[in-house]
Amino acid sequence: MDYLTPLFLLLAQPAPEAAKDGPAQAPPAGPGIASLLLPIVAAIALYYFMILRPEQRKRAGHRSQLDTLKKNDRVVTIGGIYGVVMNVQPDADEVTLKIDEANNTKVRVQFAAIARVLGEGPPSDKPA
């Protein structure tokens, strides 16, 4: 209960009296609404240019790669599987990949499962 004593003393003090010599002065004005909104607007602009805009560009670039996907393109799936596109079915949202040349293994995946397009044609086995 002793920790409340300073609070009671502060509240029990009388309010300061106005000067009797001149007119009553208004309390000082606080910061205007424009100065309060400026940091908020700056934070929103920073968030847009640092996070949202680059992410939108990245999504648009990935979408354009998927739209131009064609047979014999080399791709990597989001699971890390490398393959060569054998068939593209945009209406079924499906791509058929050949992932093994020796066994002729094929896998059907959704467009969303393609992480990136590496290029056209099978990888060359020639040393550089």
Asked if residue 43 is part of any domain, the answer here is: yes
CA distance 16 to 98: 86
pLDDT of residue 24: 60
Parent domain of 49: 33-67
Write down the residue that tokens 């606080």 correspond to.
30
| Confidence at residue 119, expressed as pLDDT on a 0 to 100 scale | 80
Q: Output the pLDDT for position 33.
A: 78
Residue 116, in any domain of the structure? yes
Task: Decide if 3 is inside a domain.
Answer: no
Tens place of pLDDT per residue across the chain (128 aa): 566 666 666 666 666 665 555 566 666 666 777 778 888 999 999 999 999 999 999 999 989 988 888 899 999 999 999 999 999 988 888 999 999 888 989 999 998 899 989 887 665 554 44
Beta bridge partners of 106: 98
